[in-house]
Amino acid sequence: MIVEMVALIARDLKRWYRTPAQIILVFTTPLMWLLLFGQAFNIGRLAQIGDTGIDLRMVFGGATDYFSFMAVGQTAFIMLFASFFSGVSILWDRKFGFLSKLQVAPIPRTAIPLSRIISSLVKSMLQATVVIVLAASFVLIPGLSGLRFSSSFGVLDAAGLALFLILLGIGLAALFVALGLVVRNEETLFGLINLLNFPLMFTSSALIPITLMPDWLRTVALYNPITFVVDGMRQLVFGTSIGAEYSVATDLLGIGIFSALMIGLGAILARKALLRG
Amino acid sequence: MSSEGTVVGVERLEKVYGGSIHAVDSISFEVGRGEIFGFLGPNGAGKTTTISILTTQTLPTGGKAEVLGHDVVKEPSRVRKGIGLVPQELTVDDELTGRENMELQGSLYGVPYSEAKKRIDELLELVKLADSAHRYVKTYSGGMKKRLELAEGLIHRPEVLFLDEPTLGLDIQTRTSMWEHINKLKKETNMTIFLTTHYLEEADTLCDRIGIIDHGKVIALDTPAGLKKAVGGDVIEVEVAECDEDILEMIRNMPAVTLLDGVCSGNRARLKVPDSNFSLPKILTNFIARNVQVVSVAVKKPSLDQAFLEFTGRELRDDESSSGNEKADPGARKGRFRRRR
Ligand SMILES: Nc1ncnc2c1ncn2[C@@H]1O[C@H](COP(=O)(O)OP(=O)(O)OP(=O)(O)O)[C@@H](O)[C@H]1O
Ligand SMILES: [Mg+2]
């Protein structure tokens, strides 16, 4: 099982890093969001202009500025997109016969979605790292603010950060890979993914502070898996629970449950899709 | 159901799509160890569907199939361990090099790395891709991809190899060398090979036994020689200046001559005789005696081509050109079929 998994993961990654456009996108997509959304959409200014005396950390999940707040959310955002591409790639594999090659091969059926989930995770984690490094290095550019870590940020916090992202990445990849296996038509798959992506993103506190949301949206956002992730990560990055919705432990539990549910759902769907017709 | 030497055993196998399309219609056959067994049939005959069932990709809707003594429905993973498949559609990965594709295949089939390396070199040499092995497959021609696909199917030295139209889209040279490889494989490794084709020549040169399949049914199953013998004689095609009922009547009255089709088509009459060497002079004498102007004469010795025609009621080539409407007019085809028999 290990040998074939490694071979399949290597194959997915080769297809990825050998495509120059993909590599360019890995850097430009977060750059665009961070610059145009993060820097331009500086809603922290509003509070300063109005001199309201609000503790911005209450609004920005512990961060003192919007950019730091959204940079953490951006990592979740990138995970979402990377995972969704993995789901689409498996549909292409069906189209080009690669999937049927795997189905004839003497490998456990589980290896097929599992290898894709792992390669997806490698890609998405790398991209999340790029986001964090880019966001932090903005401070080097005159006139821009960067992602500001708390001075107490240490190895344990970094490990916690990774854990949140990994759990999210696994859950999302499980969901999208299963969808990619079940749905056999690109348009339907893209439509379905859009239907999921948009609300997942914008009913979470990834880019928009929860306090700014109307009540009904806040209620939804509080149960959005991405909210658990960014809420937990912000507490680790900014070293404070000010402005947090849950404790870090609750956040972990929340995203853990989401991941487990997606793996379960994914397993059911994938099994069905890989059954012989 | 199967005896010792049986590698593939199929009994009343059936695949119905959507309740009405009988892709495979109650077929039975056995393939013995070391045999090259071929399915010969036109587009849509059910060849790929049969392979797909035997290679555990599709479930049959009826009947039974065993490969290497394992039921394809109940023990798919056991079957998968012993088989190799070169599918009709290309499945090689464009974004990898030829060698990488081979390495991936080796890993998927559990070939130890050092052994795989050796075999990959051998196989790439065999399919004449050694010089292009480092290139991305997206830069390969269709024939190169097909050859790579064949090499992939061999990397784990399967006991049974399924080849679905192994030479489709290859030029004559490559096709001939592919045939050589397949023959060599059989001789050197005693591998059992199940192949499908709609090339008569391919079936004729390669196969120990041929099953003619049409509309999901195996309508004849024999050695190439046996199939030809079943045709029972040569066909003489006589073209006259003007064909009329008198000429046809004259032909019908000739001893030991059967008028095929019952009519002339384009002033051509097709006559079946036991031995053309012997009959042709007599027939021509008859024509001349009656003052019939003979334009051309063609003799067809028993070929698989004819066997196919005999069993299916049509030429394979006809069907290829009109494959688009193959399902459109089954009645007409049946009519022809009956008339000819
Ligand atoms: N998934 C499917 N759903 C419905 N009908 C199908 C399906 N697959 C095959 N068929 C039908 O089953 C019949 C047999 O198809 P099959 O692919 O086995 O033919 P074939 O002999 O391999 O033909 P070819 O020489 O064109 O490859 C055809 O009529 C085809 O339309
Ligand atoms: Mg076919």
- Distance in Å, CA B178 to ligand 1 centroid: 25
Residues of chain B neighbouring A4 (CB-CB closer than 8 A): 107-108, 110
Mean pLDDT of B106-126: 94
Residue A16: partners with Cβ closer than 8 Å, 6 or more residues away: A22, A119, A123
Lookup: tokens for B17: 């799509």
pLDDT of residue B319: 43
pLDDT of residue B171: 84
Cross-chain CB nearest to A105 (options B59, B103, B109) = B109
CA of A65 to the centre of ligand 1 (A): 62
- β-bridge partners, B13: B27
Least-confidence region, from A181-185, A210-214, B13-17, B114-118: A210-214
**B212 near B312, Cβ under 8 Å?**
yes
The string of DSSP codes covering B26-41 is EEEEEEETT-EEEEE-
Average pLDDT over residues A208-218: 90
State the helix-helix crossing angle for A248-274 and A155-182, rounded to 10 degrees: 30
Mean pLDDT along residues A11-20? 93
- DSSP-H helix ranges across chain A: 2-17, 20-32, 44-50, 56-59, 66-95, 98-104, 111-137, 155-182, 186-202, 215-222, 225-238, 248-274
Alpha carbon distances (Å) from B210 to A42, A54, B46, B176, B200: 76, 86, 15, 19, 10
pLDDT of the residue at B317:
53
End-to-end Cα spacing for chain B: 33
Of B80, B94, B103, nearest to A104 by CB-CB distance is B80
> Do B6-228 and B233-301 share a fold?
no
The yes-or-no verdict on residue B329 having pLDDT over 70 is: no
Looking up tokens 């079957």, which residue turns up? Answer: B79
From B47, B137, B126, select the one nearest B99 (Cα to Cα).
Answer: B137
- Phi, psi (5° rounding) for residue A115? -65, -35
Average pLDDT over residues B117-128: 92
pLDDT tens string B223-256: 988 887 777 778 888 898 888 888 888 888 888 8
CA B58 to chain centre: 21
Question: In the predicted model, is pLDDT for residue A29 greater than 70?
Answer: yes
Asked if the Cβ–Cβ distance from A14 to B95 is below 8 Å, we say yes
Q: How far is A89 from chain B (nearest CA, A)?
A: 13
Q: What is the CA(B176)–ligand 1 centre distance, in A? A: 27
Query: For residue A105, what is the DSSP state?
Result: S
Note whether B194 and B82 are within 8 A (CB): no
A19 inside 8 A of chain B by CB: yes
* B86/B304: higher pLDDT: B86
Q: Average pLDDT, stretch A128-151?
A: 91
Per-residue pLDDT, averaged over A137-142, amounts to 90
Q: What is the C-alpha separation between B6 and B32, in angstroms, rounded?
A: 4
A275 — pLDDT class (breaks 50, 70, 90): confident
Task: Check if A101 contacts B (Cβ < 8 Å).
Answer: yes
Task: Output the CA–CA distances (angstroms, integers) from residue B116 to A210, B105, B129, B183, in the order listed.
Answer: 56, 9, 16, 23
pLDDT in tens, B191-228: 999 999 988 888 888 999 999 999 999 999 999 888 87
State whether the beta carbon of B21 lies less than 6 angstroms from ligand 1: yes
- CB of B23 sitting under 6 A from ligand 1: yes
Tell me the three state secondary structure of residue B338. helix
Is the pLDDT score of A91 beyond 90? yes
Give, rounded to a whole angstrom, the gap between the first and last alpha carbons of chain A: 25
Per-residue pLDDT for A137 more than 70?
yes
Q: Which residues of B touch A97 (CB under 8 A)?
A: 87, 89-91
Q: State the residue range of the domain holding A245.
A: 2-276
CA B284 to ligand 2 centroid distance, Å: 44
Specify the range with the lowest mean pLDDT, choosing from A140-154, B305-319, B323-337.
B323-337
Query: Assign residue A213 a region: left if phi > 0, alpha if psi is -120 to 50, beta otherwise?
Result: beta
Could you say which ligand is closest to the alpha carbon of residue B43?
1
* Whether the CB of B88 sits within 6 Å of ligand 1: yes
What pLDDT, in 10s, does the model give residues A238-268? 998 888 899 999 999 999 999 999 999 999 9
B197 CB within 6 A, ligand 1: no
- Average predicted confidence (pLDDT) for chain B: 85
Average pLDDT over residues A169-187: 95
pLDDT-based confidence at B267, cuts 50/70/90?
confident
- Asked whether the beta carbons of residue B103 and residue A7 sit closer than 8 angstroms, the reply is yes
Q: Are A147 and A130 in contact (CB under 8 A)?
A: no
What's the pLDDT at B204? 87
Closest ligand 1 atom to the C-alpha of B41? 21
Give the pLDDT score at A50: 64
Residues A31-47 have a mean pLDDT of: 80
Interface contact flag, B108 A14, Cβ < 8 Å: no
Nearest-angstrom CA–CA distance, B135 and B96: 8
Average pLDDT, integer, range A208-221: 91
**Paired residues of B272 in beta bridges:** B235, B258
The class level of CATH for B6-228 reads: alpha beta
Q: Which residue type occupies B195?
A: L
For residue B323, pLDDT beyond 60: no
Residues 93-122 on B with a CB inside 8 Å of A are 93-96, 100, 103-104, 107-110
Chain A contact present for B54, CB below 8 A: no
Mutate-to-test residue for ligand 1 from B43, B48, B59, highest number of ligand atoms within 8 A of CB? B48
Nearest by CB to A276, from B59, B95, B100: name it. B59
Query: How many domains does chain A divide into?
Result: 1
Average pLDDT rounded to a whole number, residues B73-83? 94
At residue B335 the predicted structure's pLDDT band, cuts being 50, 70 and 90, is very low
Chain B contact present for A1, CB below 8 A: no
A77: number of Cβ within 10 Å: 26
Closest CA–CA distance from residue A191 to any residue of chain B (Å): 27
Provide the pLDDT for residue B190: 87
pLDDT of residue B337: 34
User: How much is the pLDDT for B4?
Assistant: 66
Chain B residues 278-307 within an 8 A CB cutoff of chain A: none
Does 3.30.70.1150 match the CATH number of domain B233-301? yes
- Which chain B positions have a beta carbon within 8 Å of A6's beta carbon? 107
Q: Which residue has the higher pLDDT, A163 or A194?
A: A163
Interchain contact, A276 vs B76, CB within 8 Å: yes
**Cα–Cα distance between A200 and A221 in angstroms, integer?**
9
- With a 6 Å cutoff on the Cβ, whether B105 touches ligand 1 is no
For chain A, the average pLDDT equals 91
Give strand pairing partners of B218. B213
**How far does the CA of residue B72 sit from the closest CA of chain A (Å)?**
11
Q: Token digits for B335?
A: 């009519």
- In this structure, how many other beta carbons lie within 10 angstroms of the beta carbon of residue A143? 6
- Among protein residues, the one whose CA lies closest to atom 6 of ligand 1: B17
Whether the per-residue pLDDT at B2 is higher than 50: the answer is no
- Between A226 and A39, name the one with better pLDDT: A226
Among protein residues, the one whose CA lies closest to atom 5 of ligand 1: B17
Phi, psi of B313 (to 5 degrees): 80, 10
Q: How far is residue B56's CA from residue B75's CA, in Å, rounded to a whole number?
A: 9
Q: What six digits make up the tokens of B240? A: 């006259």
Helices (H), ranges, B197-275? 200-206, 224-231, 245-253
Q: Which of B15, B20, B47 to mutate to test the pocket of ligand 1 (most atoms within 8 A of CB)?
A: B47
Continuous H helices in B135-275: 142-154, 172-189, 200-206, 224-231, 245-253
Q: Which residues of A touch B90 (CB under 8 A)?
A: 96-97
**Cα-Cα-Cα-Cα dihedral sign, residues B53, B56, B60, B62:** positive
Residue B46 has pLDDT above 50, yes or no: yes
Output the CA B48–ligand 1 centroid distance in Å. Answer: 7
Nearest CA to ligand 1 atom 27: B43
| Calpha distance A209→A199 (Å, rounded) | 15
**Residue B135, Ramachandran bin (φ over 0: left; ψ between -120 and 50: alpha; else beta):** beta
Phi and psi, residue A108, nearest 5°: -60, 140
Residue B305 predicted with pLDDT over 60: yes
Report the nearest atom of ligand 1 relative to the CA of B50.
18
